Structure 1
Amino acid sequence: MTEHACTARIAWTGNRGTGTSAYKAYDRTWQVETPGKPVVLCSNDPLLGGDSGLHNPEDMLLSALSACHMLWYLHLASVAGIVVTGYEDCPEGIGETAPDGAGQFVRATLRPVITLAPGMDAARADSIHAEIHKYCFIARSVRFPVTCEADYRVADQ
């Protein structure tokens, strides 16, 4: 095994001047800073008082899971000789919240729409998804089930 490090800086930006002096005295906003990359402005889930116009941790986890799956899919498709010309996903994560406020994801479903070049074997293209969880860093790191319901299109010639 080879280890590698990922780094980021998370900086709370929600101090309105009195810090956390009262529950409603501060904003649930922060920014994600990764060296050499644009800053991502974030907030809490709107159900918990966050700004619905900003990314929240749940959005980012689900997006990371979907993006990791996509990147491995494209890699494995290329190796298998499957030509993909388009890939879009609208994943859905289902969470649950306990009475004390503790929450967790219980499952996620990826729903990629994959466009294949004419003449590609859709059954072989679909079988690639089963291989991805052997490799995807994010999927291998979460403790909830992740399923994939892919749809395939053929590119116009």
Structure 2
Amino acid sequence: MTEHRYESRVEWTGDRGEGTRSYRGYDRTWEIRTEGKPVIACSNDPLLGGDPAKPNPEDLLLSSLAACHMLWYLHLASSAGIVVRSYVDQPVGVGETERGGAGRFLRATLRPAIEVEKGADLARAEAIHHEIHQYCFIARSVNFPVTYEPSFSIV
């Protein structure tokens, strides 16, 4: 086993001048800073007073899950001789919020639309999706079920 280390800086940017003196007196905004990479401006879920124009933690988790899956898919497809020309996913995450405000993801469905070159083995292309959970760092780390609804087209 090889251990990997990931670091970032999460910095709250929502102080309107009074800090957290009152619950409605501050913004739920922050920035993700990772050495040598563009800053990502974020906010809370709009249901909880966040800015709907900025990514929230739930968006980021779902997007990370889909991106990890995509990268492994491309790798495994290439190894299987399947030439992918386009891959666009529109994942859907379903969560719940309890009465006290605690929330969690219940499930996620990845829905990639994949263009493959003529002659690709579509049964194999489909099967790869079900192998990725063995490798994907993010998928192996979440505690909710992840399902797949891929669609394929030939180019």
What range describes the TM-score normalised by the shorter chain of this pair? over 0.9
Q: Distance in 2 between matches of 1:61 and 1:79?
A: 27
Q: CA RMSD in A?
A: 0.4
Pairwise mapping of residues 6-85 of structure 1 onto structure 2 (< 5 A)?
Answer: 6-85=6-85
TM-score (norm 2): 0.99
Q: Tell me the secondary structure at the aligned position of residue 106 of structure 2.
A: strand
Deviations 1:102-133 (A, max 9, x none): 00000000000000001111111101011100
Q: Tell me what 1:143 maps to.
A: 143
The SS at the match of 2:134 is: coil
Structure-1-length-normalised TM-score: 0.98
Aligned residue identity for 1:146: V
Unaligned runs of 5+ in 1: none
Letter matched to residue 121 of structure 2? D
Q: Percent identity?
A: 64
> Which residue in the other structure is 1:117 paired with?
117
2:130 partner SS? helix
SS of residue paired to 2:88: strand
Deviations 1:20-77 (A, max 9, x none): 0000000000000011000000000000000000000000000000000000000000
The SS at the match of 1:42 is strand
Q: Tell me the amino acid that sits aligned with residue 153 of structure 1.
A: S
In 1, Cα distance between equivalents of 2:64 and 2:78 = 21
